[in-house]
Amino acid sequence: MRCEDVQSIIDAFVDGEASHVTSLKIEGHLQHCARCSLVCRNRYVLRSVIQGHARHALAGDSDSLYHKAPVHLPKQIRSALQRSDRAELNRRAWTVRWVAGTAVALGAIAIWSISSVIYHRPAEDRLAQEVISSHVRSFIGSHLTDVLSPDEQDIKTWFNGRLDFAPYVEKLADKEFVLFGGRVDYLGARPVAVLVYKHREHFINLFTWPSGRDSVIADKTMTRQGYNLVYWAKSGMDCWAISDLEMGDLRGFARAFQERCSSPN
């Protein structure tokens, strides 16, 4: 093995993450190479220094690299969870009462609410995961928008030539959701349009591309890794919206967007 090869994976070796075969090769190289041995030794020393200073941590201990949660935090969180749980139960109880009281529409509503919450196919799960990854990545660096503008025509023009389809780009009637900008992203191995909206301090990423089908899919919702997602297919486009907004607000956004798409000016 050459020195540069060894040094490029010395960290994996020191961390015990290199394969058995590779580790043996590295050990063989280290036996006769002082330079690489030095690099290796520095890694071990650095690691032991950091880990040495991370032990014996007490909450609030400024003498440790490891920061334990403050003593009051678990109780604080427990209360917050109980409050949230109670609020959710109340919301659900109210919804059930409302549904039960509407005799005529009962069948349609029941089917709609069940299908929108429970049934997720594996392909949808994969897509959901990609949507989440793209959403999180978009907040790092300056990746949120490639075109930063509240004007829908600006953004439509920007997409022109960058995509082989023309996405719906809409300023919403509801002034609470402000058009922020757009970008091109990759989802399901194809380029998609992303519209970015802002609601107070929360961002919504709306991914959209042409449907491979004629069908209309009513809003489906899911909550994953702390994010809320709503997706639908309508007017020839598949749309996925993701945000850390409350689900109710996000669904309001979805409705407002769909309304604009079906009444073009």
Partner 1 sequence: MEEKVARFEQAVLPHLDAAYNLARWLTRNAQDAEDVVQEACLRAFKSFASFRGGDGRPWLIAIVRNTCYTWMQQHRSRELATPFDEEMHGVDSESWNPEAQLIRGADVKLLTKALEELPLEYREVLVLRELEGLSYKEIAEVADVPIGTVMSRLARARKRLQQSLTGTQRKEARLEL
**Site residues for partner 1 per CB under 8 A:** 7-12, 15, 17, 35, 38-39, 41-43, 45-47, 49-51, 53-54, 62-70, 73-74, 76-78, 80-82, 84-85, 89, 132-133, 136-137, 139-142, 144, 201-203, 223-227, 244
Calculate the CA dihedral of residues 210, 212, 218, 223 and round it to 10 degrees: -80
Amino acid (1-letter code) at residue 201: E
The structure tokens listed for 170 are 């809409």
Residue 138 CB, shortest distance to partner 1, in Å, is 9
Query: Which residue lies nearer to partner 1 by CB, 85 or 176?
Result: 85
Q: How many residues does the chain have?
A: 265
Residue 26 CB, shortest distance to partner 1, in Å, is 14
- The DSSP output letter for 239 is E
Query: Which residue lies nearer to partner 1 by CB, 8 or 157?
Result: 8
Residues 47-85 as b or e (16 or more Cβ within 10 Å = b): eeeeeeeeeeeeeeeeeeeeeeeeeeeeeeeeeeeeeee
Residue 153 CB, shortest distance to partner 1, in Å, is 26
Residue 186 CB, shortest distance to partner 1, in Å, is 14
Query: Which residue lies nearer to partner 1 by CB, 81 or 108?
Result: 81
Calculate the CA dihedral of residues 14, 19, 25, 30 and round it to 10 degrees: 0
Query: Which residue lies nearer to partner 1 by CB, 63 or 164?
Result: 63
Residue 135 CB, shortest distance to partner 1, in Å, is 9
Under the phi-then-psi rule, with left for phi > 0, alpha for psi from -120 to 50, and beta for the rest, what region is 230? beta
Query: Which residue lies nearer to partner 1 by CB, 36 or 167?
Result: 36
